Amino acid sequence: MGTFVTITLPQTDKKYFKPAFNIIKQVEKAISSYDKNSPIYRLNRDGESLIYPYTYEALCLSKRYYKESDGYFDIAIGSITKGLYRFGEDERVPSSFELEHSITSLDGLSFNTLSATLQKGIEIDLGGMGKGFGVDKVAEYFREKGINARVAASGDIRCLGTCPIEIYNPLFNTPLLSFTTKEPDMGISTSGNYNRYVKSKKNNHLINPKTKHSQNNFISISLISHLPNADLDAYATAASVMPKKKAYTFLDSLDLAYVVLQSDRKKIISRNIKLFTK
């Protein structure tokens, strides 16, 4: 998942740390596009691969997010993020010609519970929902055990039990928003263009699959809701690459609150924020 994962548990439940981190390792093995033993890595390399149950579930969710977001959440964007920019590896800035002729059609992916195939020229990147998916799997484990916990994978956080949150502000030292989650099982997910880019933030990792160029309408989008973290992660990713008006229409249609930092440095907080925070 390309990030640090932190888990906070009561002292009396510390024996559950190791099983929880083992779940993270299993998710990483199932959906990573960097691990050479991962089904997704093999799928990108060979055009076919056997897959794990977590892989299948993540692919099913990704197809749903693709439909819900009108194609703005598109894991076939790996053809650009992995194939051209090579984020996290031998990074480079692709030419306009390369971007224009890249293939980002999800129609080239076929899969069932056991295996997947991929059209030549397409690569899959589950980074737009992977951290949230991993957080969800650990949260499911803690719910079964009846444990209050906080699970965080970078900007994807799950609070089982209420907890204080500060949304990072990449422009200043003060947080964009500080709050306590209102309900005992809430998720927070942030998508931003300020951490992962090549040479300049103009070439950031949040690629609009329709224009095939990095987005620069938003610095960050943070979502707060009881929805699963994989949903929030995917919705934040999708909204980040949409045209501005469409992004707000999309977010307002969902059962969540949002805190948005636009590229003009204006902070936008949804009117329903008090339904999810205190």
Query: In Å, how far are 73, 119, 173 from 127, measured between CA atoms?
Result: 11, 20, 27
Topology match between the domains 5-118 and 157-275: yes
Please classify residue 53 by burial: count the beta carbons closer than 10 Å to its beta carbon, then call 0-12 exposed, 13-18 middle and 19+ buried: exposed
Evaluate the CA torsion angle 128, 131, 137, 142 in order and state its sign.
negative
Q: What pLDDT is recorded for position 140?
A: 98
Evaluate the CA torsion angle 81, 83, 89, 93 in order and state its sign.
negative
Q: What pLDDT is recorded for position 78?
A: 92
Q: Which CATH superfamily hosts domain 5-118? A: ApbE-like domains (3.10.520.10)
The pLDDT averaged over each successive group of 10 residues in the chain (278 residues) is 88 96 97 95 97 98 98 95 86 90 92 97 95 98 96 95 93 93 94 80 87 92 98 97 97 98 97 96
Architecture of the CATH domain 157-275: Roll (3.10)
DSSP characters over 42-77: HHHHHSEEE--HHHHHHHHHHHHHHHHTTTSS-TTB
User: What three-state secondary structure class fits 222?
Assistant: strand
In 7-41, which positions are buried (b, 16+ CB within 10 angstroms) versus exposed (e)? bebeeeeeebeeebeebbeebbbbbbbeeeebbbb
Q: What pLDDT is recorded for position 1?
A: 65
Count other Cβ atoms within 10 Å, centred on residue 251. Answer: 21
Map out the domains of the chain as residue ranges.
Answer: 5-118, 157-275
Q: What pLDDT is recorded for position 226?
A: 97
Distance CA 170, CA 183 (A): 27
Q: What pLDDT is recorded for position 89?
A: 82
Predicted TM-score of the model (pTM): 0.95
